[in-house]
Amino acid sequence: MNQEEVKHRIKKVVASVLKLDMSEITDNANFIFDLGADSMQSMLLIAAFEEEFEIEMDVDKAQEVQTISGAVEFISSYL
Series of mean pLDDT values for 10-residue runs along the chain (79 residues): 97 98 96 96 97 97 97 97
Identify the pLDDT of residue 49.
98
Residue 19 lies in a domain: no
Identify the pLDDT of residue 18.
98
Residue 20 lies in a domain: no
Residue 24 lies in a domain: no
Residue 63 lies in a domain: yes
Residue 56 lies in a domain: yes
Q: Is 30 helix (H, G, I), strand (E, B) or coil?
A: strand
CA 3, CA 32: separation in Å to the nearest integer? 23
Q: How many domains does the chain have?
A: 1
CA 63, CA 39: separation in Å to the nearest integer? 9
Which domain CATH number covers 50? 1.10.1200.10
Domain, as residue range, for 70: 3-14+29-76
Q: Is 67 helix (H, G, I), strand (E, B) or coil?
A: strand
Identify the pLDDT of residue 77.
96
Identify the pLDDT of residue 73.
97
Q: For residue 65, count CB atoms less than 10 angstroms from its CB and return exposed for 0-12, middle for 13-18, buried for 19 or more.
A: buried
